[in-house]
Amino acid sequence: MQTPILRQQGAGCVPGFSASKRRCSRPQQHQAVSCRAQKGQQVSAAAAVEAPVQQSVGLNEEELPDPNAAEDFALTLPDMSKTVLGVILGGGAGSRLYPLTKKRAKPAVPLGANYRLIDIPVSNCINSNVNKIYVLTQFNSASLNRHLSQAYNANVGGYTARGFVEVLAASQRTESKAWFQGTADAVRQYLWLFDAAIRDGVEDFLILSGDHLYRMNYQDFVHRHRMSNADITVAALPCNEKQASAFGLMKIDDHGKILEFAEKPNGDALKAMQVDTTVLGLDPARAAQEPYIASMGIYVLKASAIRQLLNESFPDANDFGSEVIPGAQAMGKHIQAYLFDGYWEDIGTIEAFYSSNLALTDHPNPAF
């Protein structure tokens, strides 16, 4: 029997839709904003549906859809079943989650009794009509492999979609005995396989983390990426000063184009990364409380750019967030920000794991 897919409901922040609460990084820092997420329902993969659109930035006002015409806007979203490849990064050794990761990979850590962390990005993909999904793993991947093979059939998205959820484990090669050295290196080592997907029509790569708890409509994410004609689009969320020092931060212009990156800055360097978040659509009160834009570690990259960046421009770079993305911006690539203003939690510690599981019992509606 297959593990149910988490059906997305009301995670968007567009006027007229139900809204959600968002937590940024710290379980005890639970902020109420103008959105509320409904409790996830369980449906089969065949019944997975599109989620309502998320609030985003990076486009001129006249280019944005009328939020009151959500049904019409849904018709403009791209069919991503054949043009987007989902790549979920299995993460490192998960030392901060030990002993939960003693015999399993981080994405295989249980969530809400019936699920694993990997079910979050996979369900987001299926709900967003991203049906071709690779999961890159390296540490203790046996239980993760077993779960994915039992939970998702060979026809994700329907028979004609030719979808799949497939594990790609780190392996030694004839030209190199090295394992994955980081997020970018993991993708680089499998570019030879991804080339086949590009030949079959894939236009964009959706790079995801396997240990985050959130609901997101990737269709709108990719739609904004394509409308802005960006080489790379980075999902970002607003946060306050206390939260900001734990993230990679970005500065943007009035159209959402990223101008500068700073990885976990402190002191004066942190102050220098403040932006006017009213340009992202936040009201003045929230903008005053959350004057920083943090990267979520979720990216869309043009297929035409990913090989150039990983093999030619940055052949020795190991990490997307700290090396490839800032380097691409420095060399003049168009990098855009996309605002996600829903619930998000990094399940990277025992405390975050405990609090997130406990929060699923909140009455009447859990934040997630």
Give the torsion sign (CA, 45, 81, 39, 96).
positive
* Domains defined along the chain, listed by start: 5-359 (3.90.550.10)
Mind giving me the DSSP string for 46-100?
GG--PPPPPP--SS-GGGSPPTT-HHHHHHHS---TTTEEEEEE--S--GGGTTT
Mean pLDDT of 318-322: 81
Question: 206-254, pLDDT tens digit by residue?
Answer: 999 988 999 999 999 999 999 999 999 999 989 898 888 888 899 998 8
Tokens 């002993």 locate to: 99
| pLDDT of 3 | 46
Range 178-199 average pLDDT: 81
* pLDDT tens string 133-161: 999 887 777 888 888 888 887 767 555 56
